[in-house]
Chain A
Amino acid sequence: MAGLQGALETSAPVSRLHEQQSYNPADFPVPTGREEEWRFTPLRRLRGLHGADPLPEGHVTVDVEAGPEVKAEKAGRGDPRVGASYVPADRVSARAYASFTEATVISVPAEAVTSAPTIIRVRGHGTEGASFGHTVVDVGPMARATLVLDHQGSATYADNVELLVGDGASLDVISLQDWNDDAVHLSHHHARLGQDARISHTVVSFGGDVVRIVPTVSYAGRGGDAELNGLYFADAGQHLEHRLFVNHTVPDCRSRVLYKGALKGDGAHTVWIGDVLIGAEAIGTDTYEYNRNLVLSDGARADSVPNLEILTGEVRGAGHASANGRLEDTHLFYLMARGIPYEEARRLVIQGFFGELLDKIRVPDLRERVAAAVEAELG
Chain B
Amino acid sequence: MATLEIRDLHVSVEEAAGTQREILRGVDLDINAGETHAIMGPNGSGKSTLAYAIAGHPKYHVTRGSVTLDGENVLAMSVDARARAGLFLAMQYPIEVPGVSVSNFLRTAVTAVRGEAPKLRDFMKNLRAAMADLSIDPAFAERNLNEGFSGGEKKRHEVLQLELLNPTIAVLDETDSGLDIDALKVVSEGINRFRADPSHGVLLITHYPRLLRYVPPDYVHVFVAGRIVRQGGPELADELERDGYEKFITAEAAA
Contact = CB atoms under 8 A, between A and B. Distances in A.
Interface string B24-55: 00000000000000000000000000000001
A352 B113 contact: no
B230 interface: no
A352 B80 CA distance: 19
Given A352-B144, A355-B99, 19 more contacts: A334-B145, A335-B105, A336-B78, A336-B83, A338-B83, A338-B161, A338-B165, A339-B83, A339-B109, A339-B113, A339-B165, A340-B109, A341-B80, A344-B108, A351-B99, A351-B100, A352-B97, A353-B98, A354-B99
Contacts of B84: 339
B55 A338 contact: no
Q: Ordered nearest first, which 3 A-B pairs have the shortest CB separation? A: A352-B99, A355-B99, A339-B83
Interface string B142-154: 0011000000000
Contacts, number: 77
Interface string A324-340: 00000111011111111
A111 interface: no
Interface stretch (B2-10, B88-96, B121-129, B242-250): B88-96
B183 interface: no
A349 B97 contact: yes
Contacts of B144: 352
A38 interface: no
Contacts of A356: 99
25 contacts: A329-B58, A331-B95, A333-B58, A334-B91, A334-B95, A334-B145, A336-B78, A337-B56, A337-B80, A338-B112, A338-B113, A338-B165, A339-B80, A339-B109, A339-B113, A339-B165, A340-B80, A340-B109, A340-B112, A344-B112, A348-B100, A348-B105, A355-B98, A355-B99, A355-B100
A336 B52 CA distance: 13
A355 B78 CA distance: 28
A334 B112 CA distance: 14
Chain A: interface residue count, which band?
20 to 34
Interface of B: 55-58, 78-80, 82-84, 89, 91, 94-95, 97-100, 104-105, 108-109, 112-113, 144-145, 161, 165
Contacts of A340: 80, 83, 108-109, 112
B105 to A, nearest CB: 7
Residue among B79, B95, B144 having the largest count of chain A Cβ atoms under 10 Å: B79
A89 to B, nearest CB: 35
A355 B56 CA distance: 29
B18 to A, nearest CB: 16
A119 interface: no
Contact of A352 (B78, B89, B91, B100): B100
Contacts of B108: 335, 340, 344, 348
Interface string A29-54: 00000000000000000000000000
Contacts of B113: 338-339
A335 B161 CA distance: 12
A330 B94 CA distance: 10
Contact of A330 (B83, B95, B104): B95
A128 to B, nearest CB: 42
Nearest to B89: A337
A342 B83 CA distance: 12
A349 B83 contact: no
Nearest to B83: A339
B90 to A, nearest CB: 10
A304 B95 CA distance: 27
A356 B98 CA distance: 9
A269 B236 CA distance: 61
A75 interface: no
Interface in A41-75: none
Most chain-A Cβ atoms within 10 A of its Cβ — which of B78, B82, B99? B99
B79 A337 contact: yes
A356 B147 CA distance: 14
Nearest to A359: B99
Given A339-B113, A340-B109, A334 B83 contact: no
Nearest to A356: B99
A338 B112 CA distance: 8
A345 interface: yes
A339 B78 CA distance: 10
Contacts of A345: 80
Nearest to B106: A338
Contacts of A348: 97, 100, 104-105, 108
Contacts of A331: 95, 97
Interface string A1-15: 000000000000000
A262 to B, nearest CB: 13
